[in-house]
Structure 1
Amino acid sequence: MKLTVVGGGSTYTPELIDGFARLRDTLPLTELVLTDPATDRLELIGALARRIFARQGHQARIVTTTDLDAAVDGADAVLLQLRVGGQAARRQDETWPLECGCVGQETTGAGGLAKALRTVPVVLDIAERVRRTNPHAWIIDFTNPVGIVTRALLQAGHKAIGLCNVAIGFQRKFAALLEVSPSEVHLDHVGLNHLTWETGVRLGGPEGKDVLPELLARHGETIAGDLHLPHALLTRLGTVPSYYLRYFYAHDEVVRELRTKPSRAAEVAAMEQQLLTLYADPSLDEKPELLSQRGGAYYSEAAVDLAASLLTGAGSPYQVVNTRNNGTLPFLPDDAVIEVQAAVDRTGATPLPIPSVDPLYAGLTAAVTTYEDLALEAALHGGRDRVFRALLSHPLIAQYEYAEELTTRLLAHNREHLAWA
């Protein structure tokens, strides 16, 4: 079995490698290819990957290459984890929106749109290469904004599915609080990528007992603290929102905070330099503890589980993925990409039935889906007016003066990545 990682030079990659090594019985790889245009980083991380595999006794061959077509040739699955423009572009995404009084973040609001505009054309080009070389390969997208990117892939007819680590993070957190195995925790997870709510926490599977009320009663303060939201809000909602909902529920507070501290991109860039120094140590043969601060917790477990289900049927029967709506949420178009629990096997993902969604969540989900529609149109066809319409539609912006100024700044900061600008 061959798996290719596009963006293999990322500092995330050793987390993924560690998961492949530990969970080799679940996903029995024979060849792992890391591809990335950044040759120096690619070779550095490729060498560490080989040492991790050797330490854990994994026999798979690890190949590094900058030749994308060769990398995906014969792959059973291609995992996308790329960042167009690197941390420098991310730092801009997190900075210039704040100048207009809006949240500066790389996956939502104006910064998220900038990332989508840079990313969608690149991902579609990669996917076309995969289709020409190996049309039967699964494309697993971990590249943000996952919902928009996955929708672009599906709309273009690719065999694709989106993955995020938010749900598995909640699963692990709740399992620890409940003192049970993570495999016993099934989430009623509803919404869009980075716009989700846990409306139920069930023990044993989709039909299991919902212990969310008990979880909130006993551990609400802890959960709220992790989300940086008031405990009283979680009590009133009776759900656990994704931490990305803080950008919506406490927008002005977040803007004030972001204006008084270094950007997350600056923190990550500094951390990456430390990680690359560690990776260069020829005696290092395991992922360093510092990597846990980089983000992407449990990414490897989620990726292995999904790939195993798609390729062999050996993964968990139910997983939270980003896939086509197809009537699951009746208030959204069928071709919208939603993030929900799904039955996953070699044929793909089939969302589980979802009871009626509270209007409080359905309304915001529908509004952000409209934004994603317009964002994808802008990413595919370009044009200042399309960018403006996407920004004006976003609930975090929604004022024409902000949308106009943000459009100007977005284009000014991203011209080198936008062929039409």
Structure 2
Amino acid sequence: MRRPIDSLFGRLALLVVAVLMLSHFAWYGLMRLERTQLQTRYAVEEATFLVDAVRQHVARTPDQPLPSRVKLVDPASPDVPAVNPNMPASLEHFVEDVRDRMPAGTQVRVGSPGGPPMLWVRATTDQNWIVVPAQPLRMPRSLDRTVLWLAIIFSFAVMAALFAAWALQQPLRSLAQAVTRFGRGLPVPPVPERGPRELRQLTHGFNQMVQEVGRTEHDRAVMLAGVAHDLKTPLARLRLRAEMMDDAKTRDGVVRDVDSMTHIVEQFLVFAHDGADRSEPVEVDAQCERVVRSYRAVAAGAPTVQTELNAGPSFVLPAATLDRILSNLLDNAHAYGAPPVVVATARTPQGFTLSISDNGHGIAAQDLINASRPFVRLDPARGGNGHSGLGLAIVERLVRRAGGEWEIGNYGGRGLRVLMSFPFEVLPRVAAASESAW
């Protein structure tokens, strides 16, 4: 099961959202703190201005009434509030800031709680307490428009960042898909060179590598196919002359050698073939049953071949590809394995599997890596008549060309098993490609 967080886009999206969320919350916290500090400074300035204005009013026009909520209180009045030692820290800082703005020796107190906030100030030169209204230090903490605007800005920022992350990972995704196709041996068109400079350089290098590898593979295939094709005619003449020999023992030996050489030439041609399989798709279970039935009838002395076909009719592959896979693996099991040979198919949550296993000695663990390399024989005894070291290499190439993956190994210590897996998504493309060729 794919997890979104495993993709580049998922991780970029998570990183972007986390960074934006952290930055917006930090910005909002700093804004709230700065607003509180600005409010405190404004309240101090306002209180200082009002106290100075009252002093000037009393000095210049003592007979005129004072503004509302501003009054003068006799120091002996019982309404004068006492010093509160348990003031909140913010209020205490406010009183200290007001006292710092006043002349030395000025007394600053805060009115009794429960009523409108009032500030009591008396300097050494004042005859009475000057009482002025004080602005509340903290505004109501209800959800205001700031939070709404923050949510809107955050949403637009996230959408823009996700689009940027998607645009950034698209070239890398195209390159990853091309690498996957190249690893499976499928044709790879040039990948568009876009994105950051480093990614463009990487894509350019990959395109050059694909071109060089394709050119080398093409040259090798042409050379191999040309040599194999040129050998077919002399082999046919050699077989015809061998059948005309009078000595039956010599004739039979030469014919067997010619047949072995012909088989090797045919393997060369199959391995060198680089085109798509244009044969008609067939149900794998039914075709396996037919191939096994004919193999039992034709291959005299072949080991017992059993079938365990449970994939169902949805599992289809091109007929020529499937026949070549089965014939190569059955011949390999016949030559080096031991009965019974089991041809099995199954349906899994990810796709379909096709496996062929025998009960021989298998392949040594250190030789499994080289088992599918072309023209490699794991020991001299396996290079008998008609064997070129291409059987497993052909199977691997055919499986990858059909969009599948393969795994070769010793199964349960009883023999060699080749397990081929075909995901659900590749099978419709295989069928469509084969049908379009017709």
The structure that has the greater radius of gyration is 2
TM-score by length of 1: 0.21
Q: TM-score, normalised by structure 2?
A: 0.20
> Per chain length, whose mean CA-contact separation is higher, i.e. which structure has more relative contact order (CA < 8 Å, sep 6+)?
1
